[in-house]
Amino acid sequence: MPATVVIGTQWGDEGKGKIVDLLAADADVVVRFHGGNNAGHTLVVNGEKTILNLIPAGVLHPGRVCMMGPGVVIDPEVLTAEIDALRKRGYLGEDRWLRVSERAHLIMPYHRAIDRARERLRGAGKIGTTGRGIGPAYEDKMARTGIPVGELYDEAGFRDALARNLREKNGYLEAILGEPPLSFDEIHARYGEYRERLRPFVTDTGVELRAALAAGKRVLLEGAHGMMLDVDHGTYPFVTSSSVVSGAAAAGAGLPPRAIERVIGIAKAYTTRVGSGPFPTELTDALGERLRADGDEYGSTTGRPRRCGWFDAVVVRQAVALSGVDGLALTKIDVLTGIDSLRVCVAYEIGGRRRELPPATQRDWERAVPVYEELPGWRESLGAVRALADLPANARRYVRRLESLVGAPLTILSVGAQREQTIRCDAAFAA
């Protein structure tokens, strides 16, 4: 049975955790295909909040196999802590429910040290990285000096790789970044402990995943960031270090492209962004503060307040086109309740010219002025609504206009944080 991909269509934090958790009820295998613990997914089930940084959001459904594919970078300290926390709450009852790719790359202590030091030295020009070491880990992967998870189980190979890398990284940390060197013995001992902790889960996930598909299992591929943070297609350099679009899901999970049948794009009913970078529709006034407060817009991983603004159809339209989005999952529409007049950005004006697609250069992003369309708001509460027909007329009008502007039909509408506060328009998997 073909796989379904879930991606974010904005700058992340669109509500992917809730949507993946929802779709995982109908899946057999849920796969994270890129990113690291710089992404956090927040789930609220039976009033209890769960924040996941690495393990796919299907973990709250017993019996689902959660995989971390070769496209992921893994901090074993974070992963083992997450496993322990979930098991204390009764999840991950069997080792076979979590599979970690032997080809995924390790985040090392020197990656975190370099990440934080670089950001400090950037000063006012900082990118807004989480300091988790994700970027430097991907750098090493592309430079062919990274250490895959599977290398942990070749003791001599791991020791040689760590010694070689640490000589280079310590020189860079001391001479260029002004940071103290790191201890080989300390890192070697610590990662030896992680080796044993992770041993039950590490495998060739690509082989297992392809076998699952061949056996007719339902596979859900989980994206970790929003499309505008894609290293190739986002607001560079204010982006993440991996490819976010649906085209990256096959390689990052270990599947042939033809294995993917459906792409669901997630968008918030307004727009948010964490960290630095362009944000044409940002609201820096009381209304922006209201959206942040009512939407609980604080980073799942970092706790940083999110910047808030009006829905930007320009960026979502681009995501729909780039990833071939078949259906749109719209979240947090309930947060807009009580705002009498809503704005939607339908285009940008840059240098006197109207643009309906995102610009390519940083300078043009800085000059982009949103072109707005006004839509009437509503005052009725949406939390108990379970059918599109029962939405207030202006809420239905808002949803339909967004569908038209971005070029994708609505498949899911979230009207609250709880799992059950959701309107389903169709199935995520073929019958």
- pLDDT, residue 125, reads 65
Q: What are the helix (H) ranges across 56-154?
A: 76-88, 109-122, 134-142
Residues catalogued as catalytic: 13, 41
Q: How far apart are CA 214 and CA 138, in angstroms?
A: 31
Q: Where in the chain is the domain with CATH 3.90.170.10?
A: 3-91+205-424
Q: Where in the chain is the domain with CATH 1.10.300.10?
A: 105-198
Q: What is the DSSP string of 381-427?
A: --TT--SGGGS-HHHHHHHHHHHHHHT--EEEEE-SSBTTSEEE-S-
- pLDDT, residue 52, reads 86
**Residue 121: pLDDT over 90:** no
* Domain at 3-91+205-424: CATH code: 3.90.170.10
Q: How far apart are CA 271 and CA 288, in angstroms?
A: 10
Structure tokens given for 82: 């997450």
**Residue 427: pLDDT over 80:** no
How does residue 50 score in pLDDT terms, banded at 50, 70 and 90?
A: confident
The 10s digit of each residue's pLDDT in 20-33 is 889 999 999 999 99
**Residue 129: pLDDT over 90:** no
3-class secondary structure, 150? helix
Q: Judging by beta carbons within 10 Å of its beta carbon (0-12, 13-18, 19+), is residue 361 exposed, middle or buried?
A: exposed
- pLDDT, residue 46, reads 73
Lowest mean pLDDT among 101-105, 124-128, 138-142, 247-251: 124-128
Structure tokens given for 173: 């940390």
Residue 21's alpha-carbon distances to 44, 51, 52, 121, 299, in angstroms, are: 10, 12, 11, 39, 19
**Residue 39: pLDDT over 90:** no
Helix or strand run (H / E) with residue 202: strand 202-203
Q: What are phi and psi for residue 50, nearest 5 degrees?
A: -125, 130
Q: How far apart are CA 376 and CA 64, in angstroms?
A: 42
The 10s digit of each residue's pLDDT in 296-321 is 998 766 678 999 999 999 999 999 99
User: Comparing C-alpha atoms, which of 44, 92, 87 is closest to residue 68?
Assistant: 92
The 10s digit of each residue's pLDDT in 253-290 is 999 999 999 999 999 999 999 888 999 999 999 999 99
- pLDDT > 70: what percent of the chain? 97
The 10s digit of each residue's pLDDT in 341-352 is 999 999 999 999
Matching CATH number, 105-198, of 3.40.50.300, 3.40.50.2300, 1.10.300.10, 3.50.50.60? 1.10.300.10
419 torsion bin: left (phi>0), alpha (psi -120 to 50), beta (else): alpha
Q: How far apart are CA 370 and CA 167, in angstroms?
A: 49
- The distance from CA 182 to its chain's CA centroid, rounded to whole angstroms, is 30
Q: Judging by beta carbons within 10 Å of its beta carbon (0-12, 13-18, 19+), is residue 256 exposed, middle or buried?
A: exposed
The 10s digit of each residue's pLDDT in 152-199 is 999 999 999 999 999 999 999 999 999 999 999 999 999 999 999 999
User: What average pLDDT does the chain have?
Assistant: 93
**Residue 54: pLDDT over 60:** yes
Average pLDDT over residues 241-247: 94
The 10s digit of each residue's pLDDT in 354-412 is 999 999 999 999 999 999 999 999 999 999 999 999 999 999 999 999 999 999 999 99
How does residue 338 score in pLDDT terms, banded at 50, 70 and 90?
A: very high
